[in-house]
Structure formats: structure tokens, C-alpha cells
Amino acid sequence: MTTISLARGVPAAELLPVEELADCAREVLRREGSTLLNYGPVAGYTPLREWVAARHGVEVSRVVLTPGSLPGLVVLFQVLLAAGRHPLVEAPSYDRPLGILDTLGVQPAAVPLTDDGLELGALERELAARRPSFLYAIPTFQNPSGRTYTEDVRRELIELARVHDLLLLEDDPYRLVHFGGEPPPTLFELAAGDGVVYASSFSKVVAPGLRVGYLIVPPELVGAVEERAVATYLSPAVSLQAALYEFIARGGLEPNLARVRTGIGARRDATLAALDEHLGGAATWSRPDGGYFVWLDLADGVSADDVADRAHEAGVAVVKGSDFFSRGAGGHSSLRLAYSFVSTRELGDGIARLAAAIPAPAAV
């Protein structure tokens, strides 16, 4: 039996602009190969930095290109922890940064996430005990929950951050993968760039294998971030950054975004339709307007670990919710479903198999 993966949060193969990127890579190597194949500046390929800066309305000096999002977060976490700031995260939160913090020997304080965004009362109570702090958050089409903060919550969060000297680290890789109207303004936009570090990448909108992410950092952190980056990975792969910039300069980004939105949006629709068909009454789930993920809450008393094991035996891979809480401190009746990778037919089959692995409500 072929395993259907509802665990892989990556774009489907047919959504990757393979030929376009190959042509761009050939051209930049022909034109600048002797430079691009050597070590480059730690902040990355200058034309791409300039493009990112113009897109976000900031000085180029604030833009640091990174070899994917996670190495950038490693660098940033190290800088902030060295400065004595205490980490706060959403609950649930993206599992990779949780793992980074755990590796660094730090257990972050967790703030519950609601359908509208962060539970600000709980955040304020944490801030009363932990100052100065920084908050790692994905406010738009969150991984793992698919939820998006309302604009009201965003504005209240920014005001709370100002009062409590809370640095906001906004991770925003999914924002451009929307299936309807534009999402609310970013925290970075609403705060006019003050007190917010903005992180994003091209993994979800062009290709994850390029390993191109970026940070927009406050001027006072630029030096420390670049110094730590040199110590961590010396320099990013500027040849890949140059190929990506060539792709953008040729006008490839917007058509690619349209293809990604259409392809992944159809997969989101197929996922929600299959959940409605097979799991009505047995679970509840988020209904994201963008991004890659649905968060599934099982009935009280149903173990997500047991369901994930039975689903694996039935040929469908899912991720248990406890992976998205610091040291497994929650999510024991929840699952994350990724709909970006497999076909709409496989999504329907996979969710049918998952439904068969979940105990009926009467048996709970």
C-alpha cells in the first residue's frame, strides 16, 4: 500500500518552476559565475537584498538574506538570548523553532492561540513575570493551525509589546499563499517596522530547495546578527540567490504565485470537502484562507498518538499535535494535516483512511 503523506508541508512537484529556474541559474552563472561560486557577503546577494528592501519599504542595510528561514532563526535566537531576552511562543507553534530553542537549552513560555489570534490576557500575565522578552509568532496562516490573527488582535498585540518592551519576531512565509482576499496587514506594517523583526522565505512561493530566506532586523541588531551569521554559516549560497533574483527580474514571481495559489487552493478545498464528508461529528478543524495546513481537534479522550499510529498502518501519514507544543505540553487530542503536497484525489483517499482510524464518538 502506498503511503499518502498529509505530513509534508512542501509544495507539490508540479508547482515548482523547474525549467524557469534552471534557465535563470545558467544565465547568472554565465554572467557572474566567478563571483557567485565563491564566498559572498554574509548579508547576501545585493540585488535581491535591494528588491526585498524596496518591497517592504526599508533600508537595504536592515535586510539579511539567509540560507532558508531556520538558519536565520537560529542566528536570531542566539542573538536575542545572549542579550538576556526570554522567549515566548504560541501554543501550538511551529515545531522546528521549538526544537532550536530546546537545543539551545531554553524552554519558552507558551501563550494559547485562539481562532482570532494570540490570547492577549495570557500574554500579559507572562510579560509581568518575564521582562525583557521576545515573542516568536506566525500571525498569518499559521503553521500548524492554519489560523490568522484578526487585525484587532494585531493592533492590540503591538500596543502591548510597546508597553512591555516585547520584541515581536513575525515569521511570515505563507502570507502570499492566500486563496481569497488579502490577509490583514503584517505586524511589521502596522508597527511601521518599530519593535518587530520580520522573517520570511521563498520556500513556499517559489521552491524550498533554493534555501533562500530573509530577516528584516532593527538597525541596532544588524551588526550582532551579521556577526553571528558569519560564525554560524560563513555566507549564504549567493549563486542560488542570484538565480532567484533573475527569476524575479524576468517577471516570474507573480505568475508563479498565481499557479501556487490555484494549485494549493484546490487542495485546501478538497481537504475541507473530504473532512466534511468523512469526519463530521468526530472532530472539529480549522478552515484556513491560505497557507498549507489544517488543525484537527479530535473528541475529548481520543489520543492523537493512537490515531496517528493507526493511520500510519492504514497508509496515511499525519503529524500529532503534541509535536507543536514545547516539550509535548499539549495537543494530545490534535493532529496537523498538510494539504500542499499530494493530489486532490490522494487527499480524499487519505482523509477517508484517517477517518477510519478515529474511534466513533459513541466508542470514546
- Copy the grid coordinates of residue 150: 484578526
Statement to judge: residues 229 and 263 lie in one domain: no
- Burial (CB count within 10 angstroms: exposed 0-12, middle 13-18, buried 19+), residue 267: buried
- Structurally, the chain folds into a number of domains equal to 2
Q: What is the pTM of this model?
A: 0.95
Of 211, 229, 249, the position where a domain reaches its end is 249
Put residue 227 in one of left, alpha, beta given phi > 0 → left and psi -120 to 50 → alpha.
alpha
Number of H helices and E strands in the chain, helices first, is 12, 14
Q: Stretch 135-151: mean pLDDT, rounded?
A: 98
Q: Stretch 162-191: mean pLDDT, rounded?
A: 96
- In DSSP terms, which residues pair with 214 in a beta bridge? 65, 200
The domain that holds 85 is classified in CATH as 3.40.640.10
What is the predicted pLDDT for the residue at 48?
98
Statement to judge: residues 316 and 202 lie in one domain: no
- Burial (CB count within 10 angstroms: exposed 0-12, middle 13-18, buried 19+), residue 23: middle
Statement to judge: residues 84 and 103 lie in one domain: yes
Statement to judge: residues 99 and 187 lie in one domain: yes
Statement to judge: residues 179 and 313 lie in one domain: no
Statement to judge: residues 81 and 194 lie in one domain: yes
Q: What is the pLDDT of residues 171-185, one digit of tens each?
A: 999 999 999 889 999
Of 185, 215, 249, the position where a domain reaches its end is 249
Statement to judge: residues 84 and 205 lie in one domain: yes
Q: What is the pLDDT of residues 282-330, one digit of tens each?
A: 899 999 999 999 999 999 889 999 999 999 999 999 999 999 999 888 9
Q: How confident is the model at residue 363 (pLDDT cuts 50, 70, 90)?
A: very low
Of 228, 249, 270, the position where a domain reaches its end is 249
What is the predicted pLDDT for the residue at 295?
98
173 and 203 in contact (C-beta within 8 Å)?
yes
Tell me, rounded to whole angstroms, the distance of Cα 200 from its chain centroid: 8
Statement to judge: residues 93 and 172 lie in one domain: yes
Domain coverage including residue 104? 18-249
What is the predicted pLDDT for the residue at 332?
94
What is the predicted pLDDT for the residue at 364?
41
Statement to judge: residues 240 and 260 lie in one domain: no
The domain that holds 296 is classified in CATH as 3.90.1150.10
Statement to judge: residues 185 and 43 lie in one domain: yes
What is the predicted pLDDT for the residue at 361?
61
213 φ/ψ angles, rounded to the nearest 5 degrees: -125, 180
Q: Stretch 143-161: mean pLDDT, rounded?
A: 98
Q: Stretch 136-147: mean pLDDT, rounded?
A: 98
Q: Stretch 239-250: mean pLDDT, rounded?
A: 98
Q: What is the mean pLDDT of the chain?
A: 95
Statement to judge: residues 22 and 8 lie in one domain: no
What is the predicted pLDDT for the residue at 180?
86
CA R_g for the chain: 21
What is the predicted pLDDT for the residue at 300?
87
Statement to judge: residues 186 and 100 lie in one domain: yes
